[in-house]
């Protein structure tokens, strides 16, 4: 049994912040796989779903980002979910927008949600890093992360969320590499068509050099 966690902040005004892409990913998975109603449990919004034939737990901590670990630890302890069976979706500054990477363990890299989970649960859980891009200057990071996705971002964000939802059965089965491969395939731009070779023109009398 897997526990899928989406990170974000609970304020309605923050719903479309780049920092809330973890919530958006979990909502997409819940819709696609017919998750039960969200309930207030474990200091978060909690639901259950059958994903790829596997019972899967879904959790969106409502503690604000820097206390996310309290919610994750409570749910994992209640259901006796092993640390390696916890999968956390979070925003990643160091990935280009729309790129996805899966990683087991590691540091928090300045992410307050991950730091809190590390403190309450340990580090050896799976992280699904969802690229939001870097604004280019350190002074602009906070505004970028806590800013809303722009309208132009929907061109890559909507297909990404759809792909995550479709590929979620691989996470439920513990096949993290297959998950990222499937997402990359579904979000890849279409390959340009190769130009068709021109058909040779039929020979005419004018083309002949036979003295006629």
Q: Give catalytic residues, as residue numbers.
A: 19
Q: Running DSSP on this structure, what letter comes out for residue 196?
A: P
Q: How many CA atoms lie within 13 A of 73 on its CB side?
A: 16
Angle at 56 between CA 53 and CA 59, to 5 degrees: 155
* 3-state secondary structure at position 122: coil
Q: How many CA atoms lie within 13 A of 110 on its CB side?
A: 9
- Write phi, then psi, for 102 (nearest 5 degrees): -110, 140
Angle at 128 between CA 57 and CA 181, to 5 degrees: 105
Whether 44 and 71 have beta carbons less than 8 Å apart is answered as yes
- Write phi, then psi, for 7 (nearest 5 degrees): -100, 145
Whether 7 and 89 have beta carbons less than 8 Å apart is answered as yes
Which structure tokens are listed for 156? Answer: 């890559």
User: Residues 6 or more apart from 156 whose CB is under 8 A from it?
Assistant: 97, 98, 187
């Amino acid at each position: 049994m897997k526990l899928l966690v989406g990170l974000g902040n609970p304020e309605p005004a923050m719903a479309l912040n780049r920092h809330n892409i973890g919530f958006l990913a979990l909502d997409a998975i819940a819709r696609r796989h017919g998750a039960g109603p969200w309930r207030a449990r474990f200091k978060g919004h909690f639901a259950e779903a059958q994903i790829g034939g596997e019972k899967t737990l879904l959790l969106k901590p409502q503690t604000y980002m820097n206390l996310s670990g309290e919610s994750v630890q409570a749910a994992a302890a209640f259901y006796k979910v092993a640390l390696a069976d916890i999968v956390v979706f979070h925003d990643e500054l160091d990935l280009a927008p729309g790129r996805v990477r899966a990683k087991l363990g590691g540091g928090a890299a300045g992410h307050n949600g991950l730091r809190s989970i590390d403190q309450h649960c340990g580090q050896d859980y799976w992280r699904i890093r969802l690229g939001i891009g870097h604004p280019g200057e350190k002074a602009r990071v906070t505004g970028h992360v806590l800013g809303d996705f722009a309208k132009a971002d929907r061109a890559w964000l909507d297909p990404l969320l759809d792909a995550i939802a479709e590929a979620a059965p691989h996470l439920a089965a513990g096949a993290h590499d297959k998950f990222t491969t499937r997402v990359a395939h579904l979000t890849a731009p279409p390959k340009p068509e190769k130009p068709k070779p021109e058909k040779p023109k039929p020979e005419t009398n004018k083309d002949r050099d036979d003295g006629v």
